[in-house]
A = this chain, B = another copy of it.
Amino acid sequence: MTRERHGRGGRRAPARAVDYVRLRNPFRPQAVFSDDEVAGLHAAALDVLERLGMRILLPEARALLRGAGALVDEAGETVRIGREIVEAALAAAPRRVRLRAANPARERDYAEGETLFSAGAGCPNASDAARGRRPGRLADYEEALVLQQSFDAIHKHGPSVEPQDVPAHLRHYAMMRGQMVLGDKPMFVYARGRRQVAECFEMIRLGLDLSEDDWGRGVWASTVINTNSPRQLDVPMAEGVIDFARAGQLSVITPFCLMGAMAPVTVAGALVLQHAEALACIALAQTARPGAPVSYGGFGSNVDMRSGAPAFGTAEQVRMQLGTGQLARLIGLPFRSAAGSAANLADAQGATENLMGLWGALLSGATLCIHAAGWLEGGLAFGYEKFVTDMEAVETLAELCQPLAADPAIEAIAEVAPGGHFFAAAHTMARYATAFRAPLVADLSNHGAWAEAGGLGAAERATAEWRRRLAETPRPAQSAAAAERLAPYIEARSRAGGAPPSD
């Protein structure tokens, strides 16, 4: 895909032949445990499921698993899941899923070796330098979608900001509409109750004008299934697993295991818990519909033991990522990982924390890295400037995924005398305009020029960048038609009272 890049002054640089959409991971996955140790963690997780079990609050889910042979304690709502159930589920789960999108050029395979990034998500607040920090509004949710759409290296949409100004029983209408009117990438649906999920699916069919066959055979939506660690799955999440499985849509299973809080204080212990919970959800999905698309995954880090505050970008997070990758390869499923930051600002702390998680995702072999850009305050705020400064890093990693020529260029070396320079060499002149990625907000000018231009930090420069993107990003091709097709549905459903966020 050819893209045009803009200089900071709005100058248009020549198009570079880079493809930030179809990224393949260029690195070999890294290990933190030996193969034997990983097998031991897997065995321990099976043991946890078999002996201790999982508390699953939805009776239908317990019944499904009982049907598959699990031992259910209805009084304690606890399900003990034997390893043969897990093994059957892993045998049934697909290794490769095609994520469909409004724009076919945005479709991606969800599989080992593929690399997808998505923006910071699930934030109740939005924050930018121009307008300050505020509770998330629909306008912020929609702006974040435009920002996601404006970067090829963001590969699927996600709910960056919670639109709290839209009543909860109508919010899913606005959130689905936004994704189809402002973006054209694979979409996200919250598992917030059966009626909302069913209506979101219906909106995708309507908005993208899909035939029953198109819908039924394609993965058009994904959701994130968070367990209520330790060892608990609540009602809407269990419903989500079942409903997404039955509709053939993707569940991205994500225990959120903070070491020392919701998980054991050690990496290995937290991984065992995460793995057990993920396997339980995968088993539930495959019991609901064998072959249902599921992603293994996890989001683990540690808490600061002095304050109990979640920490991100730590060595523990990176080790959790790498260990998760080892377990994913052991069970043969693609998985999601996450970056993110506890910082309150798009500062050096925020950049360091997030980039540790980005590298951890890449080196673990994660297929999807969620919260790759913009996640401030441990997810409590989506930062516009943070999104831009993080995208500088994401695009740099996307560059690392581009093909690299091995031509030794001896003719260029021969062309320049010892002690000379290559600025004017023919080899340079033929390539200079498109050789390198132009930075988004990195300022490479010397101290004098930089100080004279105001001495701004990267976060300050980022304000102009997100403003420009909000102003200049075109609506996707299907935008108007989708809006038109969705309007009567949303109006009718809203008039009928909407749908509450859980049953």
Binding site for B on A (CB under 8 A): 7, 13, 26-28, 30-34, 37, 40-41, 44-45, 47-48, 51-52, 54-55, 78, 125, 133, 228, 230-232, 259-269, 272-273, 276, 302, 304-311, 313-316, 318-319, 342-353, 355-356, 359, 363, 377-378, 380-381, 386, 389, 392-393, 396-397, 399-400, 402, 404-410, 412-414, 416-423, 425, 427-428, 431-433, 435-439, 441-447, 450-451, 455, 457-459
B404 contacts A436, C-beta separation under 8 Å:
no
B377 contacts A457, C-beta separation under 8 Å:
no
A319 contacts B400, C-beta separation under 8 Å:
yes
Bound together, the chains give a CA A26 to CA B363 distance in angstroms of 12
Report chain B residues within 8 Å CB of A342.
442-444
Report chain B residues within 8 Å CB of A363.
27, 363
Bound together, the chains give a CA A304 to CA B433 distance in angstroms of 10
A351 contacts B344, C-beta separation under 8 Å:
no
Known: A266-B407, A345-B457, A408-B40. A393 touches B352 (CB 8 A): yes
Known: A408-B268, A428-B264. A344 touches B310 (CB 8 A): no
New A-B contacts (5) at CB < 8 Å, excluding given A26-B32, A309-B446: A13-B306, A302-B436, A315-B397, A349-B389, A349-B442
Residue of B nearest to A430 (CB): B265
Distance of A106 from chain B, by nearest CB (Å):
23
How many copies of this chain are found per oligomer?
Answer: 2
Contact residue among B260, B304, B416, B431 (Cβ-Cβ distance under 8 Å from A230): B416
Known: A306-B438, A350-B348. A41 touches B408 (CB 8 A): yes
Residue of B nearest to A43 (CB): B408
Bound together, the chains give a CA A273 to CA B27 distance in angstroms of 25
Bound together, the chains give a CA A302 to CA B314 distance in angstroms of 30
Bound together, the chains give a CA A179 to CA B410 distance in angstroms of 42
Distance of A396 from chain B, by nearest CB (Å):
5
B269 contacts A413, C-beta separation under 8 Å:
yes
Bound together, the chains give a CA A438 to CA B306 distance in angstroms of 9
Known: A356-B393, A407-B269, A413-B230. A54 touches B400 (CB 8 A): no
A44 contacts B408, C-beta separation under 8 Å:
yes
Bound together, the chains give a CA A444 to CA B231 distance in angstroms of 27
B447 contacts A352, C-beta separation under 8 Å:
no
Report chain B residues within 8 Å CB of A433.
305
B309 contacts A78, C-beta separation under 8 Å:
no
Q: List 17 A-B contacts (CB under 8 A).
A: A13-B306, A34-B406, A45-B408, A230-B418, A230-B419, A265-B432, A266-B407, A269-B407, A305-B433, A315-B397, A319-B404, A343-B458, A345-B457, A347-B351, A349-B389, A351-B352, A380-B447
A344 contacts B455, C-beta separation under 8 Å:
yes
Bound together, the chains give a CA A425 to CA B473 distance in angstroms of 51
Bound together, the chains give a CA A381 to CA B448 distance in angstroms of 12
B268 contacts A405, C-beta separation under 8 Å:
yes
A458 contacts B409, C-beta separation under 8 Å:
no
Report chain B residues within 8 Å CB of A441.
349
A27 contacts B30, C-beta separation under 8 Å:
yes
B30 contacts A28, C-beta separation under 8 Å:
yes
A315 contacts B351, C-beta separation under 8 Å:
no
B418 contacts A55, C-beta separation under 8 Å:
yes
Residue of B nearest to A44 (CB): B408
Report chain B residues within 8 Å CB of A349.
351, 389, 392, 441-443, 457-458
Distance of A26 from chain B, by nearest CB (Å):
7
Give the interface centre of A44, A260, A417 by most chain B CB atoms within 10 Å.
A260
Residue of B nearest to A229 (CB): B419
Report chain B residues within 8 Å CB of A409.
264, 266, 268-269, 272
Distance of A503 from chain B, by nearest CB (Å):
20
Bound together, the chains give a CA A421 to CA B229 distance in angstroms of 8
Distance of A3 from chain B, by nearest CB (Å):
15
Bound together, the chains give a CA A433 to CA B431 distance in angstroms of 55
A400 contacts B459, C-beta separation under 8 Å:
no
Residue of B nearest to A52 (CB): B414
Bound together, the chains give a CA A310 to CA B407 distance in angstroms of 23
B269 contacts A306, C-beta separation under 8 Å:
no
